[in-house]
Structure 1
Amino acid sequence: MRAILTSLTLLIGLVPMAWADTVTHAMGETEVPDTPQRVVVLTNEGTEAVLAMGVTPVGAANSWLGDPWYPHITGTMDGVEPLGRESAINLELLAALEPDLILGNKQRHEEIYEQLTAIAPTVLSERLRGDWRVNLEIYAAALDRQDEGAALLAEYDAEVAALSDALGGSLQEEVSVIRFLAGNIRIYQLDSFSGVILSDLGFARPANQNVPEFALRVGRESIPDMDGDRIVHFTYDNGNGEGDAAAAEALSDPLWQGLSAVQAGRVHGVDDAIWNTAGGVIAARLMLEDIAEIYGIE
């Protein structure tokens, strides 16, 4: 492995590159090439960002759901080499792609940052929760596509404003966001992907979710704490059926059946990838579409 990295580093040193700028990121400052041609992305939200800015990466971290990509991006990932999950990147395969820029995340890749920088200039965003816009702006700077990034955010803001106006008084509903997993249930709060988007729209949230934290991890005994005027829920299942089984047990639990939102028929099952796991600009805009559909807005 070390020989591969060393050889590739020497090769990169012999190839003339036009250096565009120095990008400040979670690990410091990095000189990046002008209009990089072979980009590798090591997070799911980063993959969505580069795709939306018109860049097809040569390699990317596998989607958490899908084989190897989420259904909503599969059609745009032809020829992209899957490199393993975000937390288990195959460095040898990555090096063989001979990238000229690597985009990753400190939360996932701080421990392998030195190895990544031996392969190519590497830019890491800070965190993976909450406001996805911050990371998109970092990636846009690294790709020298600030205009494209700004345009994407402007389009998102316009869609949020239009949907918010159309929702009107419905924004007063306290929307509860619940995720079922094999080992626990999560009650999502404001510092989450869905939490940020609901806040952008102006939705009210139940008191235990209207706090600047990520999520409460609870068991079925805490189902009474999941109520709201409306409940949105999704399930993470890694293919072994355990997540789906846990969701089925929770949804049939008498405590769940007794929730006011359930009694009123204001409960909606949605896609885990869109509302949580993908975490990028493409999913954000698809989540807005889901909300419009839930509320019957064209």
Structure 2
Amino acid sequence: MLRSILAALLLVPTTLFADTISHAMGETDVPDDPQRVVVLTNEGTEAVLAIGVTPVGASQSWLGDPWYPHITDAMGDAMNVGKESAINLELVAALEPDLILANKQRHEDIYPQLSAIAPTVVSERLRGDWRRNFELYASALGRDEEGTAALSAFEDNVAALAEKLGDITDEKVSVIRFLPTQIRIYQLDSFSGFILGAVGFDRPDIQNVDEFAIRTGKESIPDMDGDRIFHFTWDTGDGEGVAARDDAMSDPLWQSLSAVKAGRVHEVSDPIWNTAGGIIAANLMLEDIARIYGLE
């Protein structure tokens, strides 16, 4: 009898589960106070860092070696497990995580493998308002209080900046991204669009739409105008993005834009204004806006 009891006890999992989390791929029992967290999106990495968790593994920053400069110091010894769209499952498994944070838009196809490695919580989408994902990640980590505090601090920063800007937010601000093969005109359901909207900025009519972006080329330069233009460039180091930007900005159509003639064109960081996509970048974007408008 004693032997059978001991054998049964050996079969009982030692992990203590704190809660059942509903997410984009179903429900998952998550561990109490997970210590080995792997995060598979850039915005997810910013979320866990902001609530005091250093992941043991994370997806590589879209630009950086392997992390964006603004999070490098905070990442410590975290292992790069591949880009969001090309996760190395063997590396994830080797880290022996007790929780994985993923995204349906990126990882739906590999969810069965991820959930076989460790409890996996999956956010729904990647677009403008990152707060829903942030709250999901905080709950999965059992850090709702820290998550609430971080969001409250962000909202306080937004309110303080909006108050300082006052009527300046009546400007119709245009957001443009230069890539090697296209130009994007960003709309409301983008990272920068969400932040600008939260602060209260107006947008040109073509951008004042609850969509992500218009993918176009130099022929649409007249549609890129506004009272002020913010632009950023996707360039992986080969110079192609920068060359495309310079080509567009030397075009007579660009030179004819009212914002260009008025000297109200500002180059900003692609990671901060777009690709990082999380709460740390959001606060840094607010700092950029304050600097550009002389409110530091």
Is TM (by shorter chain) over 0.5? yes
Identify the residue that residue 91 of structure 1 maps to in structure 2. 89
CA displacement at 1:239 relative to structure 2: 2.0
Distance in 1 separating the partners of 2:141 and 2:223:
44
Distance in 1 separating the partners of 2:237 and 2:103:
26
CA displacement at 1:248 relative to structure 2: 1.0
Identify the residue that residue 267 of structure 2 maps to in structure 1. 269
Amino acid corresponding to residue 214 of structure 1 in structure 2? F
Unpaired runs of 5+ residues, structure 2, are 1-10
Moved more, 246-255 or 40-49: 246-255
Of 258, 279, 282, which aligns to 1:281? 279
Identify the residue that residue 113 of structure 1 maps to in structure 2. 111
Distance in 1 separating the partners of 2:86 and 2:170:
42
Across the aligned residues of Structure 1 and Structure 2, the Cα RMSD in angstroms comes to: 0.8
CA displacement at 1:65 relative to structure 2: 0.1
Amino acid corresponding to residue 35 of structure 2 in structure 1? Q
Of 213, 222, 225, which aligns to 2:223? 225
Superposition TM-score, scaled by structure 2 size: 0.96
Amino acid corresponding to residue 54 of structure 1 in structure 2? G
Unpaired runs of 5+ residues, structure 1, are 1-12
Of 37, 46, 49, which aligns to 1:48? 46
Identify the residue that residue 129 of structure 2 maps to in structure 1. 131
Q: Secondary structure at the match of 2:235?
A: coil
The CA deviation string for residues 66-120 of structure 1, in whole angstroms up to 9 with x for no partner, is 0100010011112000011000000001100000000010000000000000000
Distance in 2 separating the partners of 1:247 and 1:100:
44
Identify the residue that residue 69 of structure 2 maps to in structure 1. 71
**Structure having the higher Rg:** 2
Which of structure 1's runs of 4+ aligned residues deviate more than 3 A?
A: none
Identify the residue that residue 175 of structure 2 maps to in structure 1. 177
Of 208, 211, 224, which aligns to 1:213? 211
Identify the residue that residue 100 of structure 2 maps to in structure 1. 102
Q: Secondary structure at the match of 2:71?
A: helix
Moved more, 44-53 or 241-250: 241-250
| Identical-residue share of aligned pairs (%) | 71
Distance in 2 separating the partners of 1:101 and 1:107:
19
CA displacement at 1:14 relative to structure 2: 6.8
Correspondences of 1:55-66 after superposition (within 5 Å): 55-66=53-64
Correspondences of 1:6-21 after superposition (within 5 Å): 16-21=14-19
Distance in 2 separating the partners of 1:241 and 1:135:
33
Distance in 2 separating the partners of 1:130 and 1:283:
13
Question: Are 2:158 and 1:160 aligned?
Answer: yes
Amino acid corresponding to residue 261 of structure 1 in structure 2? A
Amino acid corresponding to residue 153 of structure 1 in structure 2? L
CA displacement at 1:207 relative to structure 2: 0.1
Distance in 2 separating the partners of 1:50 and 1:89:
18
Superposition TM-score, scaled by structure 1 size: 0.95
Distance in 2 separating the partners of 1:220 and 1:52:
39
Q: Secondary structure at the match of 2:38?
A: strand
Q: Secondary structure at the match of 2:74?
A: coil
Length, aligned pairs only = 286
Identify the residue that residue 3 of structure 1 maps to in structure 2. none
Q: Secondary structure at the match of 1:116?
A: helix
Amino acid corresponding to residue 35 of structure 1 in structure 2? D
